[in-house]
Amino acid sequence: MSRACVIGAGPNGLAAAIVLAQAGLHVDVFEAEAEPGGATRTLPLTLPGFLHDFGSAVHPFAAGSPFFASLPLSDHGLEWIHGDSPLAHPLDDGTAVVLERDLDATTRALGADGEAWKRWLEPAAIHWMEFAEDALGPVLRVPRHPLRVARFGWSVLESARSFAQSHFSSLRTRAVFAGLAAHSFLSLDQPLSATVGLMLAVSLHAAGWPIPRGGAQAISRALIGSLNSLGGVVHTSRRIDAAAFRELEPESTAFLFDTAPRQLLSIACDRLPSRYARAFSRFRLGPGAFKVDFALSEPVPWRAAECRRAITVHLGGTMEEIAASEDAVASGRVAERPFVLVAQPTLFDPTRAPQGKHVLWAYCHVPNGSAVDMTERIEAQIERFAPGFRDCVLARRVSPPFVLEAMDANLIGGDISGGAMSLRQFFFRPTLHGYSTGTRKLYLCSASTPPGGGVHGMCGFHAARLALREMRA
């Protein structure tokens, strides 16, 4: 039986391993950390009994992943919790814009902008799985359903600010769209920022923005259960360096790296053609994240009651304020009033904290590798929309970029996106050939390949499919 090795047990590495195991290969996955999952781990970061998601907390693309949907993950314990509402965006007048999973309900809530919202999102939302198969794959290919992706295609070149001003008349709708687009880590005046906002909006209505019961680790455990059922094995606390790679190489048919490009270079640079090595070394990192996990004595006391219905809350106020925050980061500065992404899982999953207590997950964007302490600024933004929040805090765990990288070597400088999502790196991710390294036996399957960041496994799925095709050629 042919043997394949996967380096890294994040969602993409595990997805690649499953595809290879389904094809009949013996698959070994090597993970440097004691707990597999990469950014999809759940850890006791503050006080006993409080379980916090280390990386991703809310999972629209995991719930809506075409590959994950093909696997019996529920048989391995994965249960999605959708909560009452996916997203709330509070404003300074004490109200909040709420996006409901039901598209018609959101259309009504957005008033004069509702029909424009629905017109843009409904075709892709109704046919989500077909749309996602095209959208969450290699960029330079003929889509299976070209008419469904054509509407989004031109938005690649449009900025979020331009899109919002062109299509939405209400400042409230522009604000909530700006929050969606800010997930891109781009300035809202840059190309692609509108596309990211639209993709997240479509996923919200098509798949929801759910959390896994018990935390993000449940996704990794379900993927590992699926892999184990096919005979694959995950080896934890096994960091693969250049020496370990050389020992494994003679016995293996293929290697798939769920790593950043520069980590692949550090392990197997001498196996790569020089043009690929140069491209990998020049691949640009994205901005970093500064994260704070809170243990709370009670739920966040939001001024806007609507926020208490939402799994995710975006804190940033108006479109102009969010744009200013992201412009600062894009210019290499920290924002005085950062856009803050918040998840409150224990409102809907009480298993994550002692009875009556809560966890809160929050982060903002900072320049890659920033050493500036953003704790006070993050808490000030929460307090702005939830007066009395600080009185609820029992403990906090602060994770600046260097801590995130220490806990997951892929998060270089706190980059949780697998590299900058610039227009160039949208097409060249990390090269024009995507998952290929120019060496038939070696492949890249991380978020540094198409379609990029997010917990969806599609990078690993497509990389493994390429590896299998080339093995059989």
CB 276 within 8 A of CB 360: no
Rounded Cα distance, 459 and 155, in Å = 22
Q: Residue 58: what residue type?
A: V
Rounded Cα distance, 180 and 92, in Å = 18
Residue 273 CB coordination number (10 Å): 11
Indicate yes or no: pTM above 0.75: yes
Whether omega before 430 lies within 30 degrees of 0, making that bond cis, reads: yes
pLDDT in tens, the chain (473 residues): 689 999 999 999 999 999 999 999 999 999 999 999 999 999 999 999 999 999 999 999 999 999 999 999 999 999 999 989 999 999 999 999 999 999 999 999 999 999 999 999 999 999 999 989 888 888 766 667 666 666 666 666 889 999 999 999 999 999 999 999 999 999 999 999 999 999 999 999 999 999 999 999 999 999 999 999 999 999 999 999 999 999 998 889 999 999 999 999 999 988 999 999 999 999 999 999 999 999 999 999 999 999 999 999 999 999 999 999 999 999 999 999 999 999 999 999 999 999 999 999 999 999 999 999 999 999 999 999 999 999 999 999 999 999 999 999 999 999 999 999 998 998 899 998 999 999 989 999 999 999 999 999 999 999 999 999 999 87
Where are the strands (E) in 356-431, listed by range? 358-366, 393-399
> SS in 3 state form for 119-177?
HHHHHHHHCHHHHHHHHCCCCCCCCCCHHHHHHHHHHHHCCHHHHHHHHCCCHHHHHHH
Residue 244 CB coordination number (10 Å): 14
Angle, helices 458-472/11-22, rounded to nearest 10 degrees: 40
Angle at 327 between CA 323 and CA 333, to 5 degrees: 135
Compute the Cα dihedral for 200, 204, 206, 209 and give only its sign.
positive
Where are the strands (E) in 402-454, listed by range? 442-444
Q: Long-range contacts: 375-381, Cβ < 8 Å, 24+?
A: 375/292, 377/334, 377/335, 377/336, 377/337, 377/338, 378/290, 378/292, 378/338, 378/340, 379/292, 380/337, 381/315, 381/316, 381/337, 381/338, 381/340
Joined together, the tokens standing for residue 329 give 């980061």
Confidence at residue 108, expressed as pLDDT on a 0 to 100 scale: 96
The residue behind tokens 């295609």 is 153
Confidence at residue 107, expressed as pLDDT on a 0 to 100 scale: 97
CB 5 within 8 A of CB 13: no
Rounded Cα distance, 412 and 418, in Å = 9
Burial of 252 (0-12, 13-18, 19+ CB in 10 A): middle
Joined together, the tokens standing for residue 40 give 């999809």
DSSP state of 456: S
Rounded Cα distance, 322 and 369, in Å = 21
Angle at 162 between CA 102 and CA 210, to 5 degrees: 30
Residue 190 CB coordination number (10 Å): 21
Please state the separation of Cα 90 from the chain's center in Å: 23
CB 457 within 8 A of CB 222: no
Confidence at residue 156, expressed as pLDDT on a 0 to 100 scale: 67
Confidence at residue 154, expressed as pLDDT on a 0 to 100 scale: 65
Rounded Cα distance, 300 and 360, in Å = 8
